[in-house]
Amino acid sequence: YLKISKLALAFAIIHSKPPGKSSKEYTEHLAKTVSEQDFGWKWKVEVLEAEVLRLRQELLLNRICPRFSLENNTSAESLLNRESINPTSYSSQLEDSGCDVSNDSAFDSLGIASDFHQSEHNGKVPPLNLCHSSKEQSLTAPVQFLQHLLEIRKLSEGGILQADFSELENDSFTICNSVSLLLDGLTVFYNNPTFPVSNFLTEAVCVLVSLITDTKLSNHVLKKCFKKLEEFKKNLIQIILRNSSVNRFQALHSVSQTLILLGRNNVLRNSLISLLLSEIRQFAEQLLQAHQVQSVYDITQYENIFPLCTILEQLLHNETEESNISSSDYEGEEKIKFLKNLDQIILHLSDEFPLFSLYLWRVSVLLNSAQMQ
């Protein structure tokens, strides 16, 4: 039946083809027309799905706090005017390699951490800027929704509004979908970053970090989106390891600072430490093997392993400073594997790779000091 159908279709195309066009050209034309129609339907479906999600977000916000009104938010026109009058200004950012990151107190070259600290100090989330690029467009709806959640949280904490956040348990789809879209959008940006970074993307990271560090909202988010957050962290780690661009250091620095900010949540920090221990241990073993047999090793990956070591060291340092936090969650298989034969690895690599050996030793000291507490 299938062969007969194909043969009938071929004859129909041959008989109906316009003059001056070959059967092959006419077939390609028909195939392109059909594919364009399919693309049109897919686009319509995506638009409808986005509208359904927006309505569900609005409904959930209304259930959490019926008195919360979106009408007083800044209009699109004023936001656009503000962007045109006061565009993104990162004078310290360079469009070259971004190697000039001398001011560690600034925390990162994108201004993410400084904006986040300022929002913590003021007790409110940074204002949302509307986006213009297609890369940012997909982030608009989830960032707006999650920012409204944080606004309600702050207002309810101050006694201005009464809010019932238990409603988040009754609508796991909306919160999961919103967080997933935000993480996917950030992953797309970090895979192909552009500098200088817009205020909107900086604020998107601030919203994510505020969400996972909020005492009331973080439990709801982790309960429903833990796997997605784990996937996001793994993607960021791989972005650091696999980036072979000559002009990559500013981008790697921004990814590193985002991972450190995610480590502000205790649950995410413990799992992130385990992931980093695993990656660094595997690389150290591969480097030792290559060194012993005098084979070629990946110099790019060697350069990229240092940001992971820095992230791990920062997280472990924060861990030891917080006496109320137990490190037992990651004192499992990964920690045992990392410390096993570490002294021998450092001994064999110290002459050829002194800097990497020093990093391994510093991490081991922090791990052992956490164990002694």
Q: pLDDT confidence of 321, banded at 50, 70, 90?
A: low
Task: Using the predicted structure, report yes or no on whether residue 69 has a pLDDT greater than 90.
Answer: no
The amino acid at 274: S
Please count the other Cβ atoms lying within 10 Å of the Cβ belonging to residue 96.
11
Task: Using the predicted structure, report yes or no on whether residue 86 has a pLDDT greater than 50.
Answer: no
Q: Which two tokens stand for residue 165?
A: 């956040």
With beta carbons less than 8 A apart as the criterion, state whether 102 and 108 touch: no
- Cis status of the peptide bond prior to 354, with omega within 30 of 0: no
* pLDDT in the model for residue 274: 92
* pLDDT in the model for residue 131: 45
5 Cβ neighbours under 8 A, 6+ residues apart: none
Q: What is the pLDDT of residues 17-45, one digit of tens each?
A: 888 888 888 888 888 887 777 666 777 88
* pLDDT in the model for residue 356: 92
Task: Using the predicted structure, report yes or no on whether residue 275 has a pLDDT greater than 70.
Answer: yes
Task: Using the predicted structure, report yes or no on whether residue 80 has a pLDDT greater than 80.
Answer: no
CA distances from 299 to 56, 182, 202, 293, 304 (A): 49, 33, 31, 16, 9
Cα dihedral: 269, 275, 276, 277 (round 10): 110
Alpha-carbon gap, residue 187 to 262, rounded angstroms: 14
Task: Using the predicted structure, report yes or no on whether residue 90 has a pLDDT greater than 50.
Answer: no
Please count the other Cβ atoms lying within 10 Å of the Cβ belonging to residue 291.
16
Helix axes 249-262, 199-213, angle to 10 degrees: 30
Average the pLDDT over each of 115-119, 216-220, 332-336, 362-366 and give the range with the smallest value: 115-119
179 Cβ neighbours under 8 A, 6+ residues apart: 142, 146, 211, 221, 224, 225, 228, 229
Q: Indicate the average pLDDT of the chain.
A: 78
Task: Using the predicted structure, report yes or no on whether residue 238 has a pLDDT greater than 90.
Answer: yes
Tell me how far the alpha carbon of residue 13 is from its chain's centroid.
49
With beta carbons less than 8 A apart as the criterion, state whether 185 and 234 touch: no
* pLDDT in the model for residue 114: 55
With beta carbons less than 8 A apart as the criterion, state whether 278 and 343 touch: no
Top pLDDT among 96 and 48 is at 48
Task: Using the predicted structure, report yes or no on whether residue 96 has a pLDDT greater than 70.
Answer: no
Mean pLDDT on 298-317: 92
Return phi, psi of residue 327, to 5°: -95, 10
* CA proximity to 270, closest of 311, 238, 336, 316: 316
Average the pLDDT over each of 95-109, 124-138, 155-169, 247-261 and give the range with the smallest value: 95-109
* pLDDT in the model for residue 70: 55
Task: Using the predicted structure, report yes or no on whether residue 57 has a pLDDT greater than 70.
Answer: yes
Query: What percent of the chain stands above pLDDT 70?
Result: 76
Q: pLDDT confidence of 10, banded at 50, 70, 90?
A: confident
- Please give the model's pTM, rounded to 2 decimal places: 0.72
Q: pLDDT confidence of 71, banded at 50, 70, 90?
A: very low
With beta carbons less than 8 A apart as the criterion, state whether 197 and 254 touch: yes
* Radius of gyration over every alpha carbon of the chain, rounded to an integer in angstroms: 26
* pLDDT in the model for residue 284: 93
Q: pLDDT confidence of 361, banded at 50, 70, 90?
A: very high
Q: pLDDT confidence of 111, banded at 50, 70, 90?
A: low
295 Cβ neighbours under 8 A, 6+ residues apart: 289
* pLDDT in the model for residue 123: 46
